[in-house]
Amino acid sequence: MKEYFPSIPKIKYEGAASDNPLAYKFYNPEEVIAGKKMKDQLRFSAAYWHTICAAGSDMFGAATADKTFGNTDPMDLAKAKAYAFFEIIDKLGIEFFAFHDRDIAPEGTTLSESNKNLDVMVDLFESLMKEYDKKLLWGTANMFNNPRYMHGAGTSCNADVFAYAAAQAKKAIEVSVRLNASGYTFWGGREGYDTLLNTNMGLEVDNMARFLKLTTEYGRSIGFKGAYYIEPKPKEPTKHQYDFDAATVIGFLRKYGLDMKLNLEANHGTLATHTFQHELRVARTEGFFGSVDANTGDLLLGWDTDQFPNDVYDTTLALYEIIKAGGFTTGGLNFDSKARRASFKPEDVFISHIMGMDSMALGLRFADKLIKDGRIDKFVEERYASYSSGIGKKIVNGTVTIQELEKYALEQGDVKTNQSGRQEYLEGVINQVLFG
């Protein structure tokens, strides 16, 4: 088989002192952390769209990287990308991947032609997955790029678009089932509005629920056992997206009784003015934790930069939440991340994944260390101790009356029992865990 990146070796763990750019310094796949091998804790996944499709264009600039491998025919190109992609994840030792239907096969002039192209490529994927022993973390349908989706997909003002989107999602779910995906994700890229002046919000949100109900139930009917994910994002490309953040989406899922969990993306959380840890905490507290789109944004920029995660504070606190949520079951860490436009060499694809994986590996190591250190968990436990006995316990148990609370407060006169929140102490503990 043709090698697409002959100068790139299999990426190995060489430890923290290595100055080899093509080696892991912190990610040691077989090492056991928190009771499992690192690779099983982290369940890394590469995003087909960034890793092998995205070529560095931005709103003000054309592509900088050549990912055509000399092809011009769309189907030849699609196949070459598939071969190259599996070589990449094989060399990186990444077990999972994720894709949109239109990433892997060219769109035809009709839906049936698109489906046909997709089927051809799914055959190839099936054989490559077997050959390389790789797994599909989740599939999804791209329902935002094509002009037909200019007003949304499930929330389009045009019923023809709703129908088309349902048909496209149906096929994408079928494909995902065929490839034995652990999950299926809905990112509502244009499920929102550009201006309220032309928008019937009530109908659109109801339709979004109708769309998800139809498609998720269909998947179950054909034997899909994995998790459905919905992926919050507050805005971009639209002015407002209905699945704004974790809390909003959970309210929506509860209202309509939908069978879905959350796929949380770090950069989407920060665009909604939340930390990534916050989004994960909401999901685990509410019981909707599913999977993660691993990346980072730039908090001083106002758009989705999809940078590879590099901040180990963020990865540590994310992994802390993930471990506390019980770890991944169907989900994983999917790198919805792209090398910067100026990192345009083939080597940069590998180096950027290495950096992201090492950052996550450090996060895992430190999250485990933090839990073992115990100071923070213990502090939190003691901080809320007043709810474990006396009046506090009755509050939690729901056995207190407001009259009883009033009597208690009047007797106390004022509160004399507040303790320091000790934020700076706890921040110091984090630094000790990371740098001690």
Which of positions 30-59 make contact with its own copies (CB under 8 A)?
A: 56, 58-59
Pairwise CA distance, residues 130 & 5, whole Å? 21
Cβ–Cβ < 8 Å for 118, 171: yes
CB of 130 to its own copies, least distance (A): 29
Site residues for its own copies, 338-367, by CB under 8 A, read: 339-345, 347-348, 351-352, 354-356, 358-359, 362
| DSSP assignment string, 39-81 | HHHH-EEEEHIIIII--S-BTTB---S--STT--SHHHHHHHH
129 touches its own copies (CB under 8 A): no
Cβ–Cβ < 8 Å for 338, 52: no
312 touches its own copies (CB under 8 A): yes
Give the Å distances, CA to CA, from 388 to 4, 64, 374, 391, 393: 61, 60, 20, 9, 5
Which member of 76, 302, 372, 378 binds its own copies (CB under 8 A)?
302
Terminus-to-terminus CA distance in the chain, angstroms?
A: 48
Q: Is 336 annotated as a binding residue?
A: yes
Which member of 29, 183, 189, 290 binds its own copies (CB under 8 A)?
189
Pairwise CA distance, residues 150 & 136, whole Å? 29
Q: Is 293 annotated as a binding residue?
A: yes
Which member of 2, 10, 16, 257 binds its own copies (CB under 8 A)?
16
x-or-dash string of contact with its own copies, 233-262, rule CB under 8 A: -xxxx-xx---xx-xx-xxx-xx-------
User: If you ran DSSP here, which 8-state letter would residue 195 be given?
Assistant: -
Pairwise CA distance, residues 382 & 74, whole Å? 62
- Count the residues of the shown chain that bind its own copies, applying the rule CB under 8 A: 159
Burial of 413 (0-12, 13-18, 19+ CB in 10 A): exposed
Catalytic residues: 100, 103
- Scanning 2-10, 29-37, 69-77, 230-238 for contacts with its own copies by CB under 8 A, the matching segment is 230-238
Pairwise CA distance, residues 93 & 28, whole Å? 11
Q: How many CA atoms lie within 13 A of 345 on its CB side?
A: 5
Pairwise CA distance, residues 153 & 161, whole Å? 6
Site residues for its own copies, 407-436, by CB under 8 A, read: 408-410, 412-428, 430-432, 434-436
Site residues for its own copies, 208-227, by CB under 8 A, read: 210, 214-215, 218
Residues 6+ apart with CB under 8 A from 158: 151
Q: Is 265 annotated as a binding residue?
A: yes
Q: Which is nearer to its own copies, 36 or 375 (CB)?
A: 375
27 touches its own copies (CB under 8 A): no
25 touches its own copies (CB under 8 A): yes
- Scanning 6-14, 87-95, 130-138, 379-387 for contacts with its own copies by CB under 8 A, the matching segment is 379-387
Q: Which is nearer to its own copies, 128 or 269 (CB)?
A: 269
Closest CA to 262 of 275, 240, 280: 280
Site residues for its own copies, 154-173, by CB under 8 A, read: 157-164, 166-168, 170-171
Burial of 223 (0-12, 13-18, 19+ CB in 10 A): exposed
CB of 47 to its own copies, least distance (A): 14
Which member of 147, 223, 257, 326 binds its own copies (CB under 8 A)?
147
Q: Which is nearer to its own copies, 133 or 160 (CB)?
A: 160
111 touches its own copies (CB under 8 A): yes
> Residues forming the annotated binding site?
231, 265, 268, 293, 304, 306, 336
> Residues forming the annotated binding site for Mg(2+)?
231, 265, 268, 293, 304, 306, 336
